[in-house]
A and B are shown apart, each in its own frame.
Chain A
Amino acid sequence: MIKNISNLGDAALYCDFGKEVNKETNSLVIKYFKDLKKKNINGITNLTPSYNKLIISFNLKKINFNKLKKIIEDLNINKAQSENSKKIKIPICCSDSFSLDVKRLESKLSLNRDKIYKNFLNKEYFCYMTGFIAGMPFLGDLDKSLRTNRLETPRVKVPKGSIGLTEQFANIYTFESPGGWNIIGNTPLKIFDSSKTESPNLISPGDTVIFKEISFNDYKNYNE
């Protein structure tokens, strides 16, 4: 259930699902998100699910905070398990030219390179949310041995396709973008495709992702 609904400015509802960030809380956020999307409530312009929050933006010409809050509070959310979650395999190349921050991680985590990849690859990660830049997935949870902070000084340009780690999460840079996550590899797979109007994102909240290592040669010759 939503623990608390407050206003974020005059045109958004801030729905708080509790302090804990875990799969259970997030699954509930995603359930609300999917159900509200289906209900297509007049006046709602955007739904932004994150780890433990759901922000509902609305058109102030059509509805206001108190009216929409009442609608959300009175909703019967479909408790059934969300049906359309996918399992996605992501090829990752970990050669030196892509694993920009592995040396930093080796010293930060006191783990050698092989151990870092062993603890990261071939495991299931849950997609908590997508965003910041178009299509970027926030995946978790990383093995406890891999958790560390962002770079002290973020990169001005992180290459497209980079896979980064921070705290308990991994992400994939769908575009070249500024960013401070620890980069450990790169995927040739298109994660965001704006020509696919219906579903431009390969990975959606609630999906499961597994990283599978490929060689530099396979990376170069990769065909989707």
Chain B
Amino acid sequence: MNSFEIIRPGINTTFQDEGRNNLYHIGIPFSGAMDKRNYILANSLVGNKINKPVIEFAYQGPLIKYKGEKISFVITGDVIFKIIKKEIEIKGNCYESYIIEDGDQIDIVSTNRSVYGYLAISGEFDLKFQWGSCSVNTKANIGSNNGKKLQDKQKINIFNVDLNLIKKKLNYINSKIEKIRVIKGTNFDYFSDQGKKIFFNKEFIVSKLSDRMGMRLEGEKIENIVDTNIRSEGLIKGAIQIPADGNPIIMLSDHGTIGGYPKIGVVISADYDKLVQLSIGSKIKFQQVELSDAETLFKLYELETQNLISQLK
């Protein structure tokens, strides 16, 4: 049997795929890979269908020992890693697949000025699916691996290894963006003119209290002039809530499905991947766009992704 043995699990290493639909009404969020494009590219680079489970890591990644027949793997994102073979150590490049054999180790040292990275293999992890997805939600213990992060000394079996190993490479650099584009939220007018100005003109800092559920920001307080609570209602990925303390919280993939704070805006779909990669301490600035702009920008984002995938065929 082929397997990964976890020598060091990393900070927040989980199995993820596309996520699960149609469960918000019972309180289960979408989950799935935080950075969709890097997730899709990881699968494409090892010749998988684009919706296969991968290992997602945040900041420090895992140290893994591989056992079994030859297999290829790839890492996507902006990640510092190395491959440790019996005699040599190789510095790894993202978006380039490598072939490993029995006894080799993959040491994912850390992400570089970003948060999430992805490891895909030319085979299938032995995982349990829940509601059609392996995605782990550690808060509700839902998904594969009993809904938990990867643990020390854990062994993960791998089957259906693709014996037709082909090395693939992509020239791609994750662009860093200055501004996150936002559509006005349903409670935009709960905030003072000054508050709105601050929201669209000042910089905010990503706080250390950020995780897969949400990103908390710190900056000048955004003043609420109507009510700091609303009737609890559904939330979506990218929604920006402002609680009584005046600091924004952006809902991310594992967010609570219902919330009672006013929503000043929603991050557009085209910028979601870039948003989640903003690491603790990063500066963030918002820019207002209209719905029609957001739709056009999403089409462009999709075209770019498709274009990258087609380069690998």
Contacts and interface: CB of A to CB of B under 8 A. Distances in A.
A67 to B, nearest CB: 11
Interface in B256-313: 256-259, 263, 266-269, 291, 294-295, 298, 302
A52 B23 CA distance: 19
A99 interface: no
A46 B27 contact: no
A130 B26 contact: yes
A8 B263 contact: yes
A157 B148 CA distance: 19
Interface stretch (B107-115, B170-178, B233-241): B233-241
Interface string A199-224: 01100110000000000000000000
Interface in B113-138: 130-131
A50 B234 contact: yes
A131 B257 contact: yes
A6 B25 contact: no
A200 B231 CA distance: 25
B25 A131 contact: yes
Interface residues of B, number: 40
Contacts of B140: 133-134, 175, 194
Given A9-B267, A11-B269, A46-B24, A132 B130 contact: no
A53 B295 contact: no
Interface string B228-248: 000111111011000000000
Contacts, number: 136
Interface stretch (A54-62, A102-110, A118-126): A54-62
B238 A131 contact: no
A155 B142 CA distance: 23
Given A51-B232, A197-B131, A135 B27 contact: yes
Contacts of A134: 26-28, 140, 142
Interface residues of A, number: 45
A47 B183 contact: no
A136 interface: yes
Contacts of A98: none
B164 interface: no
Contact of B269 (A48, A60, A197): A60
Contact of B298 (A10, A50, A57, A192): A10
B24 A48 contact: yes
A181 B130 CA distance: 30
A21 interface: yes
Interface in A28-65: 33, 37, 45-55, 57, 60-61, 64-65
A95 interface: no
**Chain B CB within 10 Å, residue with most, of A6, A49, A194:** A194
A61 B302 contact: yes
Contact of A8 (B131, B185, B269): B185
B232 A10 contact: no
Contact of A9 (B26, B142, B183): B183
B22 interface: yes
A163 interface: no
Nearest to A12: B236
Interface of B: 21-28, 30, 130-131, 139-142, 183, 185-186, 231-236, 238-239, 256-259, 263, 266-269, 291, 294-295, 298, 302
27 contacts: A8-B186, A8-B236, A9-B183, A9-B236, A10-B291, A10-B298, A11-B269, A12-B236, A46-B21, A46-B23, A46-B25, A47-B24, A48-B25, A48-B258, A52-B231, A54-B234, A55-B233, A130-B25, A130-B27, A132-B27, A134-B140, A134-B142, A192-B26, A194-B140, A194-B141, A200-B26, A204-B26
Interface of A: 6-12, 14, 21, 33, 37, 45-55, 57, 60-61, 64-65, 129-136, 138, 174-175, 192, 194, 197, 200-201, 204-205
Given A45-B21, A131-B25, A194-B140, 11 more contacts: A7-B183, A10-B291, A46-B30, A47-B25, A50-B258, A51-B233, A54-B234, A55-B236, A61-B302, A138-B232, A138-B258
The 8 closest A-B pairs by CB, nearest first: A48-B234, A9-B266, A55-B234, A10-B294, A131-B27, A131-B257, A46-B24, A131-B258
